[in-house]
């Protein structure tokens, strides 16, 4: 019964993430602002990763599927963070940040390709064990700086620019990033709670594409900025 409840809950989270991703894609098509594109990509990644958690909870497993899950949950956080940084606009370190993320992501891809993931990472269908060291290090390099940076810059934007909706988005990004950390320290139940809270915060920040204004964005910067 508990297993079925987890599967249903994860299926609901999958639908919620997919709806948010669709909202942001609609916004991007209307505004052509890169912030909405990054947020849409990150949310679709979250949709796939939560769907994979539902598959694991249903008792299905493969090393390749788990490796792809571990890569997705690590990369979606910096992708969401790029959207928040684009929405804030005018950060001089954006180009260096992109280069850093590219290097960290490359190391994660290499680690995921070289290190097979053991089925011991799952307990009763729940992701709770430690991934291989290379994947763990790559995940930390991607998620921790991203969540800290987004929280800091969003706080500045809210205090100085009145962009309060960015606080909800930043909080959602941070909570979702910590959701990935929670399974590493073997608190599997809170993994799903954190994902749910993170998506609620993102929904409050994003709103809907109709009738609710999105966080104020600056025009898409030229390739020479950042």
Domain carrying residue 42: 2-206
* 59 lies in some domain: yes
Q: Is residue 101 part of a domain?
A: yes
d(CA 226, CA 60) in angstroms, rounded, equals 44
Half-sphere exposure of 154 (CA within 13 A, CB side): 24
* Cα-Cα-Cα-Cα dihedral sign, residues 25, 43, 111, 52: negative
Residues 6+ positions from 217 with CB-CB distance below 8 Å: 31, 33, 35, 36, 86, 87, 89
Is the CA virtual torsion 119, 120, 122, 128 positive or negative? negative
In terms of Cα–Cα distance, which of 21, 117, 16 is closest to 70? 117
How much is the pLDDT for 210? 47
Handedness of CA 60, 64, 70, 71 (dihedral sign): negative
Q: What angle do CA 136, 14, 158 make, to 5 degrees?
A: 75
CA distance 183 to 139: 13
Bridge partners, 127 (sequence order):
122
The span from the CA of 158 to the CA of 169, in Å, is 11
Q: What is the pLDDT along the chain (226 residues), one digit of tens a residue?
A: 556 777 787 888 888 888 888 988 998 999 888 888 998 998 899 899 888 888 888 888 888 898 998 899 889 888 988 887 887 776 788 889 999 999 999 999 999 998 888 887 877 777 776 788 888 889 889 988 887 887 777 677 667 766 677 778 777 777 776 665 555 555 555 666 777 787 778 777 766 554 444 444 443 333 333 3
CA distance 200 to 212: 16
**Which pLDDT score, from 0 to 100, does residue 213 have?**
45
Question: Token pair of 123, please?
Answer: 């307990």
**What pLDDT was estimated at residue 119?**
81
Q: How many domains does the chain have?
A: 1
Compute the distance between CA of residue 80 and CA of residue 121 in angstroms, rounded to an integer: 26
Within a domain: 225:
no
**Alpha-carbon gap, residue 146 to 173, rounded angstroms:** 9
Q: Is the residue at 141 inside a domain?
A: yes
Q: What is the three-class DSSP state of 148?
A: helix
Residue 180: what pLDDT?
Answer: 59
Domain assignment present for 219? no
In a domain, 69, yes or no: yes
pLDDT at 117: 86
Question: Token pair of 146, please?
Answer: 């991203």
Which whole-number Å values give the CA distances from 134 to 41, 108, 112, 115, in the listed order? Answer: 25, 7, 8, 8
Query: So what's the pLDDT on residue 208?
Result: 57
Is the Cα torsion angle 31, 32, 37, 39 positive or negative in sign?
negative
Token pair belonging to 120? 């011991």
Per residue in 136-167, pLDDT (tens digit) is: 889 889 988 887 887 777 677 667 766 677 77
Distance from C-alpha of 145 to C-alpha of 137, rounded to nearest angstrom:
12
């Amino acid at each position: 019964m508990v297993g079925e409840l987890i599967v249903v809950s994860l299926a609901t989270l999958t639908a919620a993430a997919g709806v948010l991703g669709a909202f942001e894609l609609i916004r991007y098509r209307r505004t052509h602002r890169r912030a909405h594109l990054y947020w849409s990509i990150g949310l679709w990644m979250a949709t796939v990763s939560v769907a994979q958690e539902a598959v694991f909870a249903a008792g299905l497993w493969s090393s390749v599927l788990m490796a792809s899950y571990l890569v997705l949950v690590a990369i979606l956080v910096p992708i969401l963070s790029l959207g928040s940084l684009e929405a804030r606009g005018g950060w001089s370190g954006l180009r260096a940040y992109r280069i850093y993320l590219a290097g960290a992501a490359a190391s994660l891809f290499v680690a995921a390709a070289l290190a097979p993931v053991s089925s011991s990472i799952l307990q009763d269908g729940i992701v709770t064990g430690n991934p291989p060291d290379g994947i763990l290090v790559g995940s930390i390099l991607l998620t921790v700086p991203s969540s800290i940076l987004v929280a800091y810059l969003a706080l500045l934007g809210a205090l100085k620019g009145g962009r309060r909706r960015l606080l909800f988005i930043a909080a959602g990004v941070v909570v979702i990033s910590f959701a990935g950390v929670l399974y590493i320290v073997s608190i599997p139940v809170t993994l799903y709670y954190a994902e749910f809270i993170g998506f609620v915060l993102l929904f409050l920040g994003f709103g809907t594409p109709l009738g609710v204004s999105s966080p104020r964005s600056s025009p898409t910067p030229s390739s020479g900025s950042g």
